[in-house]
Amino acid sequence: MEAIISNIQEYSIHDGPGIRTVIFMKGCGLSCQWCANPECISSKPEIGFIKKLCTSCGKCEDVCKHNALSHEFDKHPIINREICIGCGDCVSACKYKALVTYGKRMNLQEVLKIIKRDKIFYDSSGGGVTISGGEPLLQANFVCALFKECRKAGIHTCLETSGCVDSSALLLVLPLSDYVFMDIKHLNSDKHRQYTGRTNSMILENARLLAESDLDYMFRMPLIPGVNDDLQNIKGTADFLKSLGSNSNRIEIMPYHRLGVSKYEALNKQYLLNGVPPADTHKVELVKNTFNDYGITCLISK
């Protein structure tokens, strides 16, 4: 069994309890304008180009079997992304590291080998493995197989999901998950579609299913200035969480940052929130206090 993995981050302390290994899977049904992992949106391997490292030597074009690269003398290469299959031959040929591969096929045993080598840290810290993305539930069968093996090895499992998937995928993975993060981005369905490309109907349905489970979970909200940080949305989100029962009376907000902008440039994608500054500390505290005032315990992601 294989999956397309964008990155594996070891020794993480921000994606669940304890020290964790985070598996970033490629493919997502949303296209959030603030996404910090644009390389995880497409389900296919992609080549990124870091312009400042390029010397225009032309070796990448020479090795491309699909004629997906072209450049003029003393000019930077141009990647024809309709032809490029992300094979990585050009990356291997570029000794200046101006080309990078986002995503590769990995089988179950390859991923498990990486996870298990840090088990001593999981055991000492209460950590484990976190599956993120992208949207990992688009590769639900692989996640199930991986979580089964982790449980056999006594490794804690955590799922990070947008919730924007068919409920059958969520219900397949939940029984094998020890902890779940699910995003609630916007309560207004039209606004949600405007900024993510999809309505929130599946997300709200899956949030109810998660709340009905006996799992430990946390709802999270990426806090984007001018998008979802207004009083109406905060109150609406608080009311929705309260409707799910007492186990859902908390949320973690993740203040907007611009750390992913360079990856948009590498993928030749437009970053639509260019004029939006990072979240203001005072506004973040105001949102936190507003949630608390409405009876929802609010944490701020570090």
293 phi and psi angles, rounded to 5 deg: -65, -30
- Torsional class of 218: left (φ above 0), alpha (ψ -120 to 50), beta (otherwise): beta
Confidence of residue 73 (pLDDT cuts 50, 70, 90): low
A 10 A CB-CB count for 210 gives: 24
DSSP bridge partners of 273:
none
pLDDT digits (tens, 9 = 90+) for 24-54: 999 999 999 999 999 999 999 999 999 999 9
What does the alpha-carbon distance between residue 151 and residue 128 come to, in Å, rounded to a whole number? Answer: 10
Does 190 have pLDDT greater than 90? yes
What is the predicted pLDDT for the residue at 75?
81
Q: Check for a shared fold between 2-43+104-300 and 46-102.
A: no
Where helices occur in the chain by DSSP H, the ranges are 59-63, 89-93, 108-116, 119-125, 140-152, 167-173, 189-196, 201-212, 231-243, 261-266, 281-293
pLDDT digits (tens, 9 = 90+) for 261-287: 999 999 999 999 998 999 899 999 999
What does the alpha-carbon distance between residue 147 and residue 175 come to, in Å, rounded to a whole number? Answer: 10
Mean pLDDT, rounded, for 151-174: 97
Which of 71-85, 144-158, 160-174, 236-250 has the weakest average pLDDT?
71-85
Q: Is 3.30.200.20 the CATH classification of the domain at 2-43+104-300?
A: no
The H or E element spanning position 58 is: none
Does 74 have pLDDT greater than 80? no
Show the tokens assigned to 173: 């993975």
What is the predicted pLDDT for the residue at 26?
97
Residue 35 makes CB contacts below 8 A (sequence gap 6+) with: 28, 41, 260
Does 20 have pLDDT greater than 90? yes
Does 144 have pLDDT greater than 90? yes
* DSSP notation for 80-138: -TTT-----HHHHH-TT--EEEE-EEEEHHHHHHHHHTTHHHHHHHT-EEEEESS-GGG
What is the predicted pLDDT for the residue at 267?
96
What does the alpha-carbon distance between residue 104 and residue 287 come to, in Å, rounded to a whole number? Answer: 39
Confidence of residue 121 (pLDDT cuts 50, 70, 90): very high
What's the Cα-to-Cα distance from 20 to each of 10, 140, 145, 207, 273, rounded to whole Å? 6, 20, 19, 24, 31
Strands 99-102 and 46-49: antiparallel
Which residue from 139, 138, 158 is spatially nearest to 147, judged by alpha carbons?
A: 158
- Chain centroid offset of residue 230 CA: 24
Cα end-to-end span (Å), the chain: 35
- Omega prior to 134 cis, within 30 of 0: yes
144 phi and psi angles, rounded to 5 deg: -60, -50
Domain boundaries, the chain: 2-43+104-300, 46-102
Q: Are the beta carbons of 219 and 199 closer than 8 angstroms?
A: no
What is the topology classification, in CATH, of domain 46-102? Alpha-Beta Plaits (3.30.70)
What is the predicted pLDDT for the residue at 196?
98
